[in-house]
Amino acid sequence: MAEKVTFCAFLLVLLSTLAAAIRPSARSSTVARRAALENGLGRTPQMGWNSWNHFHRNINEEIIRQIADAMVDTGLAKLGYEYINIDDYWAAYDRDSQGVDYLKYDNCNNQGISPQPRYDAMSKALLNSGRNIFFSLCEWGVDDPATWAGGVGNSWRTTGDIKDTWASMTAIADKNDKWASYARPGGWNDPDMLEVGNGGMTTEEYRSHFSIWALMKAPLLIGCDIRSMSNKTKEILSNRNVIAVNQDGLGVQGHKVQQDGDQEVWAGPLTGGRFAVVLWNRGSAQASITASWWSIGLNASTVVDAHDLWTDKIISAVRGELEETVDSHACKMYVLTPK
């Protein structure tokens, strides 16, 4: 391959193996004291690919190698999609010193034992391994890991498994939103992997999925077969503007700031005094959505340029609010830059 794509075994470690819109200000003091895992990883949300959503248990070495090649050939690796993650149903007890860069520790076969001490033990073992390994906790939000996992792992699942449906994706976004104030560089809320391109949603619904995940600083882990993805799927996954919001160095998770029935505004700050904003129409009919400066965190008199991240057009000299018509099950995403 022309470029390096990090290859990582994605292990589901069993218990027996181990034995061998909430506003950020609401919990700011608590979050400020939360320790971060000191392994130097996860300064921005992880990006890559995972086998589970599309292939489930039907994986083999040939598929994984082809996916790694496709990650480079499609240009996705250049955009930051770094990890190739092997999920369940392919594991080995022995690994050499080059196999593993990322561990997803699942909660299967947990025998009813509390997650926290098990994940803490694994964290210490990884830190003592002599290799920097990204630690992804996947206990499905059972014990509210956002409140304790910052010093244990680099990301933590806040929800159950996603399904390739509009209902599942929107419900999971809401569940993850609750923990927005706990995310920061080194540790991220994880609402599960991307379903973009798997066929269960429309293009507009997938665009909403990708936009909200990017705004929430969620891990961007592709879950489709990138060897045969459509041009529309590639266009969504390759949007540099949206990826830049996810990878912004400020590391603040955007959250829901306005709601009027099925019409919502999600927003969050970015570096340079900018703001990312998503106008999200979750209803069954086209609707007008207005994002007010007061809810975003801007002074009412502030004048901004609004960059539409999907059309790449710029609306100049916007003051006080941003109003747009949004199609059903669709969104519009902007970066607001004060003038």
Low-confidence ranges of the chain (pLDDT < 70): 1-34, 91
Non-local (6+) Cβ contacts of 98 within 8 A are none
84-111 residue pLDDT tens:
999 988 767 777 777 889 999 999 989 9
161 classed as catalytic: yes
Report the alpha-carbon distance of residue 335 to residue 27 in Å, rounded.
26
Non-local (6+) Cβ contacts of 111 within 8 A are 15
pLDDT of residue 38: 84
pLDDT of residue 88: 85
pLDDT of residue 34: 54
Report the alpha-carbon distance of residue 298 to residue 275 in Å, rounded.
9
265: amino acid identity, one letter: V
CATH fold, domain 47-89+101-247, is TIM Barrel (3.20.20)
Catalytic hit among 106, 190, 192, 248: 106
Span 255-338: which CATH code?
2.60.40.1180
pLDDT of residue 211: 99
pLDDT of residue 97: 73
Sign of CA dihedral 314, 318, 320, 323: negative
CB atoms within 10 A of CB 215: 25
Catalytic hit among 88, 143, 144, 161: 161
Q: Where are the domains of the chain?
A: 47-89+101-247, 255-338
pLDDT of residue 94: 77
* Prediction pTM value: 0.90
Report the alpha-carbon distance of residue 162 to residue 124 in Å, rounded.
29
248 classed as catalytic: no
